[in-house]
Amino acid sequence: MHYQGTIFRPPSEADSILLQVTTGCSHNKCTFCGMYKGTRFSIKDDVTLKADIEFAANHCRRQNRLFLCDGDALIIPQERLVGILHSIRKKLPWVNRVGAYANTKSIDRKSPDQLQELRELGLAIAYMGLESGDAVTLKDINKGADPERMIEMGRKIRAAGIKLSITVLLGIAGKQRSTIHARETGRVLTEIDPEFVGALSLMLTPGTPLHTAWIAGDFQLLRPVEVLSELRLMLAETVLTDGYFHANHASNYLPIRARLPGDKAATLLLIDSALQGKISLKPEYMRGL
């Protein structure tokens, strides 16, 4: 495979074929993110993509899922993206699910019919970073969309039959807006009603604007118990028709896996036990990105 730079993928795509169709991120302005800093966004050429798909055809026959890297494959113009999916279907017929990152800009650029076409060609799941449902926080972290835009685009991609996995970020609002962040994020998640929610806990990356703000004393990190309280409130405010709410990423202090609505009450009790000191939290040295 012709990989350029560091390859990032969602935890659930750990066993997938990783096909790098773009480099970097089409937005790449979030204050907390250092994933693609220094990497210019580009769409890889067809010759390279063809060679990588051929490589997968010969060496990846045990993997039935494929993830389109990097930061926002959905931004690729429709004709080219359709061609890539056609090639995957032809050369890798055993692949039964294709996934990709998406953001509000890339979803907006696709019509409902185009999204449905991508779904019919195998794009079965998209991963979108919401981070927060709080308008002030979204503006502060330069996310590029407000909560209502997040809701609109989340609903749009779900309406096309593409499953949606949303990432939210505990602690991203700092101490002053923690409660608002938790409540508003729960509200936005409820409005979108995705199939999957993944809650990560903020870990600052040196060189990012948010890390610089923390060094200067302009941003306050939450203590572990405050992160847990934020998680509890966010979960309590989230209503999903039939979805999974996970906080089992390496960054989290207390791993939880809940299917909503059935597991909600028991999961809230689990978090309460941790807040009362009855369950130990993950020590800092064991956390990771």
Segment 196-211 shows an average pLDDT of: 95
pLDDT band at 21 (very low <50, low <70, confident <90, very high): very high
pLDDT value, residue 92: 98
pLDDT, tens digit (0-9, with 9 covering 90-100), for 75-113: 999 999 999 999 999 999 999 999 999 999 999 999 999
Whether 6 shows a pLDDT value over 90: the answer reads no
Query: Could you give the percent of the chain with pLDDT greater than 90?
Result: 86
Tell me the CATH class for 11-278. Answer: alpha beta
Segment 248-277 shows an average pLDDT of: 94
3-state secondary structure the chain: CCCCCCCCCCHHHCCCEEEECEECCCCCCCCCCCCCCCCCCEECCHHHHHHHHHHHHHHCCCCCEEEEECCCHHHCCHHHHHHHHHHHHHHCCCCCEEEEEECHHHHHHCCHHHHHHHHHCCEEEEEEEEECCCHHHHHHCCCCCCHHHHHHHHHHHHHCCCEEEEEEEECCCCCCCHHHHHHHHHHHHHHHCCCEEEEEECCCCCCCHHHHHHHCCCCCCCCHHHHHHHHHHHHHHCCCCCEEEECCCCCCCCCCEEEECCCHHHHHHHHHHHHCCCCCCCCHHHCCC
pLDDT value, residue 258: 97
pLDDT value, residue 35: 85
pLDDT value, residue 225: 95
Name the more confident of 24 and 141. 141
pLDDT, tens digit (0-9, with 9 covering 90-100), for 205-222: 999 999 999 999 999 999
pLDDT, tens digit (0-9, with 9 covering 90-100), for 27-73: 888 999 988 877 888 999 999 999 999 999 999 999 999 999 988 89
pLDDT band at 289 (very low <50, low <70, confident <90, very high): low
Give the pTM.
0.94
pLDDT, tens digit (0-9, with 9 covering 90-100), for 105-162: 999 999 999 999 999 999 999 999 999 999 999 999 999 999 999 999 999 999 999 9
pLDDT value, residue 83: 97
Name the more confident of 235 and 248. 235
Query: Could you give the percent of the chain with pLDDT greater than 70?
Result: 100
